[in-house]
Amino acid sequence: MHHIEPYYKWRDYYVASEDKRSPFYKRRYSEFEFSNAIYNYYIHPQWDYFGSETLYMKVIFADYTRNFAVIEFIGEWNDCISNDIMLMKRNIIDKMIRRGIHKFLIIGENVLNFHADEDCYYEEWYEEVTEQEGWIVAIQFRPHIITEMQGGNLHYYLNFGEAFDQIKWRSLQPLHLLFAVEQLLQRSSGLLPPGQRKA
């Protein structure tokens, strides 16, 4: 796992540690010292710790004019034991919302497992962003994780599905990704919650 690093080709557009509004402003990284681990596996030092012992993240893009952020994850997302969503919501998402971000694209290519628990923090997150005409879109999560998310009723708060997963996000610039996501959302019924949309 230590070879898997956050997506870096957008660094010309955005670096969270250089963004004064970012929760990770002034964070320092080593390219040689591996200190963070998920269970017994060290991970690349560019991933950011936010309180969870099994899930790490990287804000790879944020645009405060368009109120949009892209967050990539790695590890095991465990709401059941470690309440990862609470840690994420309180330590990171709340701060980003206060700074004007209300469109969140979360990327789960490197999330290996998901364990659902109560959905109250997802509901809170959903309600806060939709008040500002925002959204939460999840892409590239593995099929068994999507099944777990659906079992935890998260489809009422997160937009996900085959149409979103077909977006080749790595080949796009950040704003082109935003436009692609918003086009898909516009094709869905804006009057229905995410779980009832046909994405």
Q: Would you write out the chain's pLDDT as a tens digit for each of its 199 residues?
A: 567 899 999 999 999 999 999 999 999 887 767 778 888 888 889 999 999 999 999 999 999 999 999 999 999 999 999 999 999 999 999 999 999 999 999 999 999 999 999 999 999 999 999 999 999 999 999 999 999 999 999 999 999 999 999 999 999 999 999 999 999 999 875 434 564 444 4
C-alpha to C-alpha distances, 63 to 4, 16, 94, 120, 156, nearest whole angstrom: 25, 11, 16, 27, 26
Given a contact cutoff of 8 angstroms between Cβ atoms, the answer to whether 140 and 108 are in contact is yes
Q: Residue with structure tokens 């019924």?
A: 189
Query: In CATH, what number does 16-189 get?
Result: 3.30.750.24
Domain layout of the chain by residue ranges? 16-189
The model's pTM? 0.92
Given a contact cutoff of 8 angstroms between Cβ atoms, the answer to whether 51 and 82 are in contact is no
Whole-angstrom distance, CA of residue 100 vs CA of residue 122: 18
Exposure string of 109-135, with b = 16+ CB inside 10 Å and e = fewer, is ebbbebbbbebebbebbbebbeeeebb
Helices (H) and strands (E) in the chain, counts: 6, 6
